[in-house]
Structure 1
């Protein structure tokens, strides 16, 4: 019996009929809201506003370069966030109290400060120091902000993943003569990272979406390019709608990847049932005989 059956009674005929009615009413309400919005924005949604998107120049000069900039910032931020997250996560699990305290302060600070504030601070730090200029400073500001915030989130994932493991894993490592640091690196972290992979992939969606904040520090990502397109053709509603659809498609692909990865890991971690056949042969779950 499933946990759901233990906690809740299955809906009866009247409840199922009520749920169907509520679902139909909800769908009709949403359809009415969409129809009302389309009617109010009919002048902004006429064919003349969509025509620029059949021109290849719109894609080669605006949308595709913006998408490339978005993916570039997201890819760099993912790599740096993983490195920073693992370092801070291991630091929070270190045996030395000073390392644990310092890592904890950094994690809590970076989680508390808004991502946009860190982007703006890093951007102006690069500009005023003269280290970087132009789009390089904007890209660096986006990457720094995303790295610090998402690195802190990943550090918490690492810490919680290790703490979720059975205590016997740590005891077994210490029993065979490993130090606490060796036990963490050799036994606990590999298991925790495998368990965290779906959550880490899901965090990629957050990184990708937050690259749009680079718009405010003049980074020419997809949102910034869409605004430039709208300024030239006067179709801001349609331009932002198309940019939103692109974001949705990419995020949907990442979410699908996360779900498939989670299913694959569940299959890999599932055990095989052994059946003893006549004559002493051992049959695995796929009926492959093996000699005892």
Structure 2
């Protein structure tokens, strides 16, 4: 007996998988136990190591550093998405004089590491008489790298769609800009949303690189805490790492909520289209007819001269 994608495991395969699962769990628990044991033996759970976190000024400093991290991430994320759209549209252009320079810029931004970009902006520009604030060095570096990555994500999403999607838009008289804006990009964003969110999570975590150019974000403040009484190195890492984990979980939760909402709106649109035209129940025509109806709704009365 087999399914469409793989053979159903037999008794031996099931037993083998269970053994592997038990061994994996045992190894993970052993490693966790070893780490906890070593921390106990070295006194990492002692009150002295956590004493610094009993002061309200320390937590105020953590919250200020968190605000700086979120400020850099928020602006960098918005600019990265905007830059990603611009570069993606440029790479999809039919004109070589647009496509080629945009391709060169995209590949250049992707090739330069974020840390190198930050150091060039902060330490390199003063050599030519231009001084840049650490905040803007972090934001611009994150925008350039992540924007170029998002451009490739969006371009791949558009090019992965069936050709009939674009042809349906052209059939009702839309220009290429209308096809991209009304039909292709909305579907590409919906399909590539998990990848986009993953890249935004990377953007958030890469703000920690700003501590090298003295930007006062979370990691920079954690480094200052390690020099306090008791040398709370691991403790600072646990606290700051926990904050990063919480922020990533919140961002992923928001993305999941947006994905569910967009999926629900797509289903409602399909029901309405099916009620208006029985042909939408035929296999393989749903998406193209819905796209045509969406485009026609925006196009009607506005592009008759196209």
Aligned twin of 2:252: 255
Secondary structure at 1:197 match in 2: helix
Question: How far apart, CA to CA, are the structure 1 residues paired with 2:186 and 2:118?
Answer: 32
Q: Summarize the Cα distance change of 1:190–1:229 in structure 2 as closer, same or farther, 3 Å threshold.
A: same
| Structure 2 residue corresponding to 1:208, chosen from 204, 208, 222 | 204
Q: 1:178 to 1:273 in 2, by over 3 A?
A: closer
Rounded to whole Å, the distance in 1 between the matches of 2:19 and 2:254 is 34
Gaps spanning 5+ residues in structure 2: where?
Answer: 276-306
C-alpha displacement of 1:18: 3.2
Q: 2-side partners of 1:217 and 1:8: how far apart?
A: 51
Q: For residues 256 and 23 of structure 1, what CA distance do their matches in structure 2 show?
A: 28
Are residue 173 (structure 1) and residue 169 (structure 2) matched? yes
C-alpha contact (below 8 Å) 1:73/1:211 kept by paired residues: yes
Q: Tell me how far 1:131 sits from its aligned partner.
A: 4.7
Match of 1:23 in 2: 21
How big is each residue's C-alpha offset from its partner over 1:211-236, in whole Å with a ceiling of 9 and x where there is no partner? 11111111111011011011113111
Q: Are residues 269 and 186 of structure 1, via their aligned partners in 2, closer, same or farther at CA, if it must alter by over 3 Å?
A: closer
Task: List aligned pairs for 1:186-265, cutoff 5 A.
Answer: 186-233=182-229, 234-265=231-262
- Give the deviation of 1:192 after TM superposition: 2.6
Aligned to 1:7: 5
Mark the runs of 5 or more structure 1 residues left unpaired by the alignment: 277-292
Rounded Cα–Cα distance in structure 1 between residues aligned with 2:255 and 2:66: 21
Residue in structure 2 matched with residue 38 of structure 1 by the alignment: 36
* Cα distance between partner residues in 2 of 1:189 and 1:245: 35
Change (3 A) 1:65 1:128: farther
C-alpha contact (below 8 Å) 2:219/2:240 kept by paired residues: yes
For 1:9, what is the secondary structure of its paired residue?
coil
Q: Decide whether the 8 Å contact of 1:119 with 1:145 is kept in 2.
A: yes
Give the CA deviation at 1:182. 3.6
Partner of 1:99: 98
Separation in 2, partners of 1:241, 1:14: 42
Task: Check conservation: 2:91, 2:100, Cα contact below 8 A.
Answer: yes
Q: Return the alpha-carbon distance in structure 1 between the equivalents of residues 166 and 5 of structure 2.
A: 34
- The residue correspondences of 1:42-57 to structure 2 (distance < 5 A) are 42-57=42-57
Match among 254, 261, 266 for residue 263 of structure 2: 266
CA root-mean-square deviation: 2.6
Matched with 2:139 is 143
Query: What number of residue pairs does the alignment pair up?
Result: 270
Is 1:227–1:240's contact at 8 Å kept on the other side of the alignment?
A: no
Cα displacement (A) at 1:107: 1.0
Deviation at 1:9, TM superposition (A): 2.4
In the superposition, relative to structure 1, how do residues 237 and 259 fare at CA in structure 2: closer, same or farther (>3 Å)?
same
- Equivalent runs, 1:74-113 vs 2, <5 Å: 74-113=73-112
TM-score normalised by L of structure 2: 0.79
Give the superposition deviation at 1:238: 1.0
User: Offset at 1:43?
Assistant: 2.6
Using the alignment, how far apart are the partners of 1:101 and 1:224 within structure 2? 40
